[in-house]
Amino acid sequence: MKQYSYKFKCKIVKNYQRGEGSGEDLAQKYSMPTASLVSRWIQQVQNGGLKALRSSKGARYPVDYKLEVVDYCLKNRH
């Protein structure tokens, strides 16, 4: 599934809040596959504000760092 940026999600929700269309209208206007995404974003903002639209994925670490951690664990039996 395509991932949408925080900025894009905010734009869609703000358009909805300004009455510029329904969730379905906005999904169609921005060529989104389904209006359920828009509905989910609207619900998230109602429950937690715009910050709720930020990705909840964990930290991303560079490959070099990951290899160092694995090496450390192997050497120290973790």
| Position 56 pLDDT exceeds 70 | no
Distance, in Å, from the CA atom of 47 to the CA atom of 52, rounded to the nearest integer, reads: 8
pTM: 0.68
Domain ranges of the chain: 1-55
Which structure tokens are listed for 20?
């510029």
> Per residue in 30-55, pLDDT tens?
999 999 999 999 999 999 999 999 87
Tokens of 22: 């329904």
